[in-house]
Chain A
Amino acid sequence: MNNGVKINDISKPVEQLLRLRLEDLMPLPPPFDKEPEPPIEGEPKPEWREEYFTDLDGYVAIDLPIKPKSEEEGRRFVERFLDGLRKLTSDEDNWTFKEQFMLSIEYCAKCQTCNDACHFYQASGKKEIYRPTYKSEVLRRIYKKYLTPSGKIFGNFVSGEVDLNWRTVGRLAELAYRCTFCRRCAQTCPIGVDNGVINRELRKIFAQEMGIAPKAFHDQGTVKQLKTGSSTGLTPDGFKDMIEFIQEDFEEKLDMKIDMPIDEKGADILLIHNAGEFLSWPENIAAFAILFNEADLSWTMSSDPIGYDGVNYGAFCDDVQLARIVIKHIEAARKLDVNKIVIAECGHAHKVLTVIADRILFDDLNIPRENWLPIMWDAVRKGKFNFDPDKNQFPVTLQDPCNLVRLSGITQPQRNIIKAICPQFREMEPHGVKNYCCGGGSGFAIMSSMNYPEWRKKISVRLKVKQVLDAFQDSISPDINKYACFPCSNCKGGIRDGIEHYGLWEKCRITYGGLVELMVNAMVDIEEPFIEWEVH
């Protein structure tokens, strides 16, 4: 099963610890028992090896030329890493996650009970470096050996064998992006140890101490969002134009008036989307407007910089950037004097604003924040909509976004809605709080540089593709259209990769989209089908 890699191999001067091979990966269900899947291209370009850390599995998540070029740089690289690790244990620097991190570092029994909970470990054919305990154990050993009195005295006897050099640090930087901290492993731990939090804190060492993070997260992510208003680069004027375009487009398509209020002071709700929807899935924006209007909700969007983009990539590696963006979201809500912020179909935006930011906000900043699903189920329950479930007479399955379900406890409203409007609904297995990550979580869906997308397609989304195929096995023929409902922007990004890469539309007629699209598609008053049977 594993490829014989040992913990301390992470420090060894070998070209790569692992080379992925198609024949090792977890098999996919029919039609892939007969249909071949695309090959693994794999190999990084030779020139990348000089500047980037290709030494782990050949894939590059950290698209910065961080490889030390001299002994002095290597030494400094290690020192900075240790400085960052030390700061994770400080009250002042890391009150945000110190307790969660330290408990998980101190008490792992190394029983490996968590292993099979990890979708990467399973999808890769149980490769050692993707075992959820692998990187945690490396970090734990470094911490024990270099930062604790017992480790300094007794060395490897108490820490376990580990050598800390620039290769160790570089490979750890890459390994930090081989886990989406979906925290499914933590659910299985008898002690409550959380490899997910260890992984997030590992990313934090690089991001907050060394300034190292994938460009998509920092330079082109949080920094761009703070500078322009959105990580997509969409400015406030651009946002207004975009909404106008979506409004006109869907009014014309559906032959109906669709109000899309912007900056309406005193509205009850400030609705915040993931700005990715404006560009990639505008039908999601239109569907929300139709539903909120039909439900007689008092709502608005904001054109304040960042107020129209709910994403917060600080969640993935950086507490300081997270706080900065949260404050901007709150400021947008205060400016409009709304009663609450409601987060649309974006799992991480929801978790950041409703759960994580709950311990950052106070006084006037502590504005109520909710997810859209309970509000919408409430409206459905109260009969605000006239649905004809027969309009959704096709097989439908539902993705449970980790941030919404396992990490926030919102599991039922989406099921109640989908059961009311989709006669052929079937669950994925497992589902609810035991779901598997979509593979696009913790920002993976937006990391698209160098050869990383191939890793995402082959490993990251593989188990989700398997789950979707399993859910539709009774109707897998391409003669039947099927809908994978993924009510989260990152999840949609993940399954979009999966559908494109494995050709699920061509081979099985599986498409994907959010929940709001299904709801509008079922509305009696809207004559034209809202769901377009294609992959977009």
Chain B
Amino acid sequence: MVLSLLQLSSYVAFAIFIVVTLRTARKWASMPMHLRWELYPVPHEPEHEHGSSYLEKVDWQTKPRETTLAGELKELLMEMLFIKRVFDHKRDLWWLTFPFHFGVYLILGWFALLFVGGLTQAYTGIAIPSAHPWAQLIHGLTLLTGSLGIILGTLGTLGLLVKRLFTRELREYSAGVEFLNLIFILVVFGLGAVAWLTFDTDFSTARAYMTSLVSFSSTGIENTVQSNSILLAHVILLELLFIYIPFTKMSHFVGKYFTYHTVLWEDEPNIRGGPLEKKIKDLLTYKVSWGAPHIKKGKNWVENATAEVEENWGEWKI
């Protein structure tokens, strides 16, 4: 059967989200290797509870390097799931940002459960809800994550918007687009909440729509969606949000990986004859174009680093 325009738009929105997110990740991943700029405690160091590093060992270059993945995972999960730094340092904001983020995580879980439910319905013939244990599990978890996610997400977003509007230190530092982002999310959450409370209380419509998407078939559910203006507005705005997020700072889930893993926790030593030396040699061939008198414009980094001092190096110019 021919896919509906609504279904097609869902595929397109999801595809754009993935492609742009991956492009952003690739942009950061392809940055040139930089000078070390780690910040302790670095949680993969075995003695990280003291903030210690391998530099505490005499002749550390000649000793095997020990790291702990468990330390890193623990820190990562505490920050991702519970936003520990905001809890520790700005508790008043944490009461709003935690429900918001946790609400978003629950909604992502809800999406995953709808996806699994859709696959189940489309390819196994097991109906959800039904008496089948698998169906009961999926249905129950979908209800839990969806309802809790909508409540926490809506309240958290509303709280963050109000806080940003009425707290000077947040308002003064925010651009118009940052208010727009929160309003956009709030509208999507709000419409979802209304649709859930008034029309799709057990998420069966949402699951049926997901079933049509994973089976690549028009089952008629899109007509149901289109006949309910709230539901339709929610789906369309959600798709637009999916398209919009990767172009904005809201995709900081990508940036956050790099701030931690390639900067703050990146303490790989450059051992003589090791793999980093080749990269360093390449980087030092880059030519510089800085304009201050003491810099040899047009020469590369090696030529600059080994240049003999000249009389005019202490000058400045506008």
A residues adjacent to B (C-beta < 8 A): 2, 6-7, 64, 66, 68, 73, 76-77, 80, 83-84, 87, 90-93, 95-100, 102-104, 106-117, 131, 133, 137, 141, 144, 154, 156-160, 183, 186-194, 197, 207-213, 218-219, 223, 226-227, 319-321, 323-324, 326-327, 340, 354-356, 358-363, 366, 368, 370-371, 373-375, 378, 405-413, 432-433
Q: When the two chains form their complex, are residues B305 and A191 in contact, meaning their CB atoms are under 8 A apart?
A: no
Q: Please name the residue on chain A nearest to B33 by beta carbon.
A: A359
Known: A110-B178, A227-B309, A432-B51. A406 touches B86 (CB 8 A): no
B3 at interface by CB-CB < 8 Å: no
B47 at interface by CB-CB < 8 Å: yes
B133 at interface by CB-CB < 8 Å: no
Q: When the two chains form their complex, are residues A160 and B263 in contact, meaning their CB atoms are under 8 A apart?
A: no
When chains A and B are docked, how far (Å) is the Cα of A186 from the Cα of B39? 8
Q: When the two chains form their complex, are residues B259 and A192 in contact, meaning their CB atoms are under 8 A apart?
A: yes
B131 at interface by CB-CB < 8 Å: no
Known: A100-B263, A103-B255, A115-B169. A187 touches B295 (CB 8 A): no
Q: When the two chains form their complex, are residues A406 and B34 in contact, meaning their CB atoms are under 8 A apart?
A: no
Q: When the two chains form their complex, are residues A356 and B36 in contact, meaning their CB atoms are under 8 A apart?
A: yes
Give 12 pairs: A residue, B residue, CB < 8 Å, sorted on A: A80-B318, A87-B290, A92-B289, A96-B34, A113-B86, A137-B173, A183-B39, A211-B317, A218-B294, A326-B305, A358-B269, A408-B55
A-B CB pair tally, cutoff 8 Å: 286
Q: When the two chains form their complex, are residues B294 and A210 in contact, meaning their CB atoms are under 8 A apart?
A: no
Q: When the two chains form their complex, are residues B259 and A193 in contact, meaning their CB atoms are under 8 A apart?
A: yes
When chains A and B are docked, how far (Å) is the Cα of A58 from the Cα of B56? 43
Q: When the two chains form their complex, are residues A99 and B34 in contact, meaning their CB atoms are under 8 A apart?
A: yes
When chains A and B are docked, how far (Å) is the Cα of A110 from the Cα of B249? 11
Q: When the two chains form their complex, are residues B264 and A113 in contact, meaning their CB atoms are under 8 A apart?
A: no
B66 at interface by CB-CB < 8 Å: no
Q: When the two chains form their complex, are residues A409 and B41 in contact, meaning their CB atoms are under 8 A apart?
A: yes
Known: A95-B32, A110-B178, A158-B175. A208 touches B59 (CB 8 A): no
Interface mask (B44-59 → A, CB under 8 Å = 1, otherwise 0): 0101001111111111
B89 at interface by CB-CB < 8 Å: yes
Return the contact of B175 from the options A102, A159, A190, A211 (Cβ within 8 A): A159
Q: When the two chains form their complex, are residues A111 and B39 in contact, meaning their CB atoms are under 8 A apart?
A: no
Stretch from B7-15, B229-237, B279-287 at the A interface: B279-287
When chains A and B are docked, how far (Å) is the Cα of A371 from the Cα of B40? 16
B307 at interface by CB-CB < 8 Å: yes
Known: A107-B259, A191-B252. A98 touches B34 (CB 8 A): yes
Query: Cβ of A223: which chain B residues have Cβ within 8 Å of it?
Result: 294, 309, 313-314
Q: When the two chains form their complex, are residues A366 and B317 in contact, meaning their CB atoms are under 8 A apart?
A: no
Q: When the two chains form their complex, are residues A111 and B170 in contact, meaning their CB atoms are under 8 A apart?
A: yes
Q: Please name the residue on chain A nearest to B279 by beta carbon.
A: A359
Q: When the two chains form their complex, are residues A110 and B93 in contact, meaning their CB atoms are under 8 A apart?
A: no
Known: A191-B259, A210-B316. A405 touches B38 (CB 8 A): no
Q: When the two chains form their complex, are residues A68 and B318 in contact, meaning their CB atoms are under 8 A apart?
A: yes
| Closest beta carbon of chain A to B42's beta carbon, Å | 7
Q: When the two chains form their complex, are residues A156 and B36 in contact, meaning their CB atoms are under 8 A apart?
A: no
Query: Cβ of B56: which chain A residues have Cβ within 8 Å of it?
Result: 373-374, 409-413
Q: When the two chains form their complex, are residues B34 and A95 in contact, meaning their CB atoms are under 8 A apart?
A: yes
Q: When the two chains form their complex, are residues B270 and A361 in contact, meaning their CB atoms are under 8 A apart?
A: yes
Query: Cβ of B132: which chain A residues have Cβ within 8 Å of it?
Result: none
When chains A and B are docked, how far (Å) is the Cα of A183 from the Cα of B42? 14
Q: When the two chains form their complex, are residues B295 and A113 in contact, meaning their CB atoms are under 8 A apart?
A: no
Query: Cβ of B314: which chain A residues have Cβ within 8 Å of it?
Result: 218-219, 223
Q: When the two chains form their complex, are residues A113 and B85 in contact, meaning their CB atoms are under 8 A apart?
A: yes
When chains A and B are docked, how far (Å) is the Cα of A324 from the Cα of B287? 16
| Closest beta carbon of chain B to A439's beta carbon, Å | 20
B2 at interface by CB-CB < 8 Å: no
Interface mask (B258-284 → A, CB under 8 Å = 1, otherwise 0): 111011100101111000110011011
Return the contact of A116 from the options B89, B287, B317 (Cβ within 8 A): B89
B140 at interface by CB-CB < 8 Å: no
Return the contact of A96 from the options B35, B58, B86 (Cβ within 8 A): B35
Q: Which has the most chain B C-beta neighbours within 10 Å: A77, A112, A207, A361? A: A112
Q: When the two chains form their complex, are residues B272 and A83 in contact, meaning their CB atoms are under 8 A apart?
A: no
Return the contact of A98 from the options B31, B47, B83 (Cβ within 8 A): B31
Query: Cβ of B41: which chain A residues have Cβ within 8 Å of it?
Result: 409, 433
Known: A362-B277, A409-B41. A95 touches B283 (CB 8 A): yes
Q: When the two chains form their complex, are residues B33 and A95 in contact, meaning their CB atoms are under 8 A apart?
A: yes
Q: How many residues of B contact A (CB 8 A)?
A: 90
Query: Cβ of A194: which chain B residues have Cβ within 8 Å of it?
Result: 37, 39, 259, 263-264
When chains A and B are docked, how far (Å) is the Cα of A326 from the Cα of B270? 15
Q: When the two chains form their complex, are residues B291 and A80 in contact, meaning their CB atoms are under 8 A apart?
A: yes
Q: Which has the most chain A C-beta neighbours within 10 Å: B33, B47, B85, B276? A: B85
When chains A and B are docked, how far (Å) is the Cα of A154 from the Cα of B180? 13
Query: Cβ of B317: which chain A residues have Cβ within 8 Å of it?
Result: 210-211
When chains A and B are docked, how far (Å) is the Cα of A106 from the Cα of B58? 39
Q: Please name the residue on chain B nearest to A7 by beta carbon.
A: B172
When chains A and B are docked, how far (Å) is the Cα of A340 from the Cα of B269? 15
Return the contact of A111 from the options B93, B168, B295 (Cβ within 8 A): B93
Q: When the two chains form their complex, are residues B40 and A433 in contact, meaning their CB atoms are under 8 A apart?
A: yes
Query: Cβ of B292: which chain A residues have Cβ within 8 Å of it?
Result: 207-211
Q: Please name the residue on chain B nearest to A362 by beta carbon.
A: B277
When chains A and B are docked, how far (Å) is the Cα of A406 from the Cα of B52? 9
Query: Cβ of B58: which chain A residues have Cβ within 8 Å of it?
Result: 370, 374-375, 378
Q: When the two chains form their complex, are residues A190 and B79 in contact, meaning their CB atoms are under 8 A apart?
A: yes
Query: Cβ of A207: which chain B residues have Cβ within 8 Å of it?
Result: 292
Query: Cβ of A84: which chain B residues have Cβ within 8 Å of it?
Result: 290-291
Q: When the two chains form their complex, are residues B295 and A103 in contact, meaning their CB atoms are under 8 A apart?
A: no
When chains A and B are docked, how far (Å) is the Cα of A329 from the Cα of B154? 59
Q: Which of B42-91 contact A (CB under 8 A)?
A: 42, 45, 47, 50-61, 79, 83-86, 88-90
| Closest beta carbon of chain B to A141's beta carbon, Å | 8
Known: A137-B173, A157-B176, A409-B52. A99 touches B294 (CB 8 A): no
When chains A and B are docked, how far (Å) is the Cα of A456 from the Cα of B50? 30
Query: Cβ of A154: which chain B residues have Cβ within 8 Å of it?
Result: 177
Q: When the two chains form their complex, are residues A190 and B83 in contact, meaning their CB atoms are under 8 A apart?
A: yes
Q: When the two chains form their complex, are residues B170 and A323 in contact, meaning their CB atoms are under 8 A apart?
A: no
Return the contact of B35 from the options A73, A92, A320, A359 (Cβ within 8 A): A359
Smallest CB-CB A-B distances: 4 pairs? A409-B53, A192-B259, A433-B51, A211-B316
When chains A and B are docked, how far (Å) is the Cα of A234 from the Cα of B280? 33
Query: Cβ of A159: which chain B residues have Cβ within 8 Å of it?
Result: 175
Q: When the two chains form their complex, are residues B52 and A412 in contact, meaning their CB atoms are under 8 A apart?
A: yes
Query: Cβ of A158: which chain B residues have Cβ within 8 Å of it?
Result: 175-177
| Closest beta carbon of chain B to A131's beta carbon, Å | 8
| Closest beta carbon of chain B to A223's beta carbon, Å | 5
When chains A and B are docked, how far (Å) is the Cα of A186 from the Cα of B37? 11
Known: A327-B306, A374-B55, A410-B52. A113 touches B90 (CB 8 A): yes
Q: When the two chains form their complex, are residues A323 and B277 in contact, meaning their CB atoms are under 8 A apart?
A: no
| Closest beta carbon of chain A to B56's beta carbon, Å | 5
Known: A100-B263, A115-B169, A210-B291. A432 touches B35 (CB 8 A): no
When chains A and B are docked, how far (Å) is the Cα of A513 from the Cα of B222? 76
Q: When the two chains form their complex, are residues A359 and B276 in contact, meaning their CB atoms are under 8 A apart?
A: yes
Q: When the two chains form their complex, are residues A212 and B316 in contact, meaning their CB atoms are under 8 A apart?
A: yes
